[in-house]
């Protein structure tokens, strides 16, 4: 029998972990309203009580003096994330559909090997890829441009899209495809009319992962763009290089992670419905 202390133990553990998870956000939040004096005075947490809050940090990130402008990097990041995610989802679901429905055989290579090829690309460390990418983009005149960054980001995201969608398509009965074909749809129409409309949960999960990994990429942007295009993570990290204006850094960081935190709310909905389960196995 469970002891009466079990609930106490349970909620204590949950609360401790919640503090750890929320701590950095709380710290960033409180710091973003400080100024140099408040920061230099040692760690304080509660505005008005322990320090006098100012909006300096927040002003700085929107082009205030001595700060940066996060709007342009934000737009760049959004464009790159959305474009790369869309391309990856489109190419990824087509390929995943083929791998889930048809049998491929090329010598000893089977379907599972092709899936493995896709997924295994996640193992490539960005640092290994970045030098050749540099020369590749330079050769194509795409260095320091949005299209260039989109192309390399696709390499990061395509494996994720294929991984999620193969599992998802495997969960849709083949009879649905067969029925659509019997009903007069050639293969491509079958995919578009019968399968895609039933794949929304899978596409959502894949899009979520793509958005997370696309938005959060730093290394490629860091080494393949310089002056013309700057992404949001780059802009924030740039603040960190010299003597850190912590308040600006904190405000910029919160601004940078906010869009995806909203995403977490949405993901949880899918989780409760059990839609994610297919992607896990």
Q: Which residues in 100-159 contact another protein (CB under 8 A)?
A: 101-104, 114, 117-118, 120-133, 135-136, 151-152, 154-155, 158-159
Least separation in angstroms between residue 230's CB and another protein is 13
Distance CA 54, CA 49 (A): 13
Instruction: Tell me which residues in 83-102 interact with another protein (CB under 8 A).
Output: 91-92, 94-99, 101-102
Residue ranges in 171-200 that form contacts with another protein under rule CB under 8 A: 173-189, 191, 193-194, 197-198
Q: Which helix (H) or strand (E) holds 26?
A: helix 6-32
Q: 55 or 264, CB closer to another protein? A: 264
**Distance (Å, whole) CA 135 – CA 268:** 41
Member of 8, 14, 36, 109 binding another protein (CB under 8 A): 14
Work out how close the CB of 216 gets to another protein at its nearest, in angstroms, rounded to a whole number. Answer: 4
Q: How far is the CB of 257 from another protein (least distance, A)?
A: 4
62 lies in the site for another protein, by CB under 8 A? no
Quote the tokens at residue 166.
């193969």
Task: Kindly tell me which residue out of 10, 63, 113, 226 binds another protein, with binding defined by CB under 8 A.
Answer: 10
Site membership for another protein, residue 280 (CB under 8 A):
yes
Least distance (Å) from another protein to the CB of residue 86? 13
Is residue 267 a contact point for another protein (CB under 8 A)?
yes
Count, residues near another protein per rule CB under 8 A: 117
CA dihedral (263, 27, 54, 244) positive or negative: negative
Q: Is 201 in the site for another protein (CB under 8 A)?
A: no
Please give the Cα distance from 248 to 244 (Å, whole number): 8
Helices 111-120, 146-170: axis angle to 10 degrees equals 140
Query: Site residues for another protein, window 228-247 (CB under 8 A)?
Result: 232-233, 236-237, 239-240, 244, 246
Residue 228's SS3 state is coil
Shortest Å distance, C-beta 63 to another protein: 19
* Contacts of 175 by beta carbon, 8 Å cutoff, 6+ apart: none
Helix residue ranges, H only, 69-199: 71-101, 111-120, 126-139, 146-170, 174-182, 187-189
CB 121 within 8 A of CB 155: yes
Smallest separation (angstroms) from another protein to the CB of 102: 4
């Amino acid at each position: 029998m469970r002891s009466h202390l079990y609930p106490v133990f349970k909620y204590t553990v949950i609360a401790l972990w919640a503090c750890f998870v929320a701590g950095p956000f709380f710290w960033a939040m409180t710091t973003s309203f400080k100024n140099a004096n408040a920061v230099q005075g040692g760690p304080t947490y509660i505005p008005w009580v322990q320090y006098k809050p100012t909006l300096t940090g927040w002003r700085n990130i929107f082009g205030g003096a001595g700060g940066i402008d996060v709007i342009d990097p934000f737009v760049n990041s959004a464009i790159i994330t959305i474009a790369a995610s869309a391309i990856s989802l489109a190419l990824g679901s087509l390929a995943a559909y083929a791998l889930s429905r048809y049998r491929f055989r090329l010598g000893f290579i089977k379907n599972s090997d092709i899936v493995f090829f896709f997924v295994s690309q996640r193992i490539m460390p960005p640092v290994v890829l970045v030098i050749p990418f540099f020369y590749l983009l330079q050769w194509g005149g795409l260095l320091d441009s949005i299209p260039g960054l989109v192309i390399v980001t696709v390499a990061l995201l395509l494996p994720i899209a294929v991984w999620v969608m193969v599992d998802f398509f495997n969960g849709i009965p083949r009879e649905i495809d067969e029925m659509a074909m019997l009903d007069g749809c050639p293969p491509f129409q079958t995919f578009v009319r019968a399968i895609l409309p039933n794949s929304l949960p899978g596409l959502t999960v894949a899009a979520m992962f793509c958005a997370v990994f696309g938005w959060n990429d730093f290394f490629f942007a860091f080494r393949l763009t310089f002056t013309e295009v700057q992404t949001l993570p780059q802009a924030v990290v740039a603040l960190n290089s010299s003597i850190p204006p912590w308040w600006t850094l904190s405000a910029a960081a919160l601004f940078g992670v906010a869009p995806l935190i909203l995403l977490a709310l949405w993901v949880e909905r899918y989780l409760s419905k059990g839609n994610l389960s297919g992607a896990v196995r």
